[in-house]
Amino acid sequence: MNCEQALMQWGLVPALSSLGDIRRELAAEIERRHNDIYTEDLLLLLCVQLFAARQVEDSLHIWQAKQCDFDAFCYIDGEFLCGAGLEPTRQFLLGCEAPEALAALEYIDDKDWSHFTPDEHLAQYRQYFSN
């Protein structure tokens, strides 16, 4: 799959019924990155799609993508962890037993969120992926 196919299949803001497929594709793309066989920008797009769907549990899927390699850590925005909003994401991670939840929460707590809104952040990627 490439970005064009993912956009055609799911759109930038996917239906909730598509999230299982997007999560599976994200896991596959993370694996492909580990094997150094991946599609440029697909990891980013899949994270944007999960962010846009605003499901708090996707913060962990996005965190795994961000952690998969150095380049991904640099270009997968930390804001993507908070598509459901900052406080709901913090509460979810605080109550989550997954080992990576604490690291994601610490990362979130180290950021300045004073100017963040999910809508404004998504607007940047609407333009990025429309070019």
Q: How far apart are CA 31 and CA 82, in angstroms?
A: 24
Q: How far apart are CA 58 and CA 56, in angstroms?
A: 5
Over residues 37-62, the mean pLDDT reads 95
Q: How far apart are CA 123 and CA 87, in angstroms?
A: 21
CB 15 within 8 A of CB 50: no
Over residues 63-77, the mean pLDDT reads 95
The model carries a pTM of: 0.95
Q: How far apart are CA 129 and CA 73, in angstroms?
A: 20
Residue 77 has pLDDT above 70, yes or no: yes
Residue 9 has pLDDT above 90, yes or no: yes
**Who has greater pLDDT, 122 or 130?**
122
Residue 131 has pLDDT above 90, yes or no: no
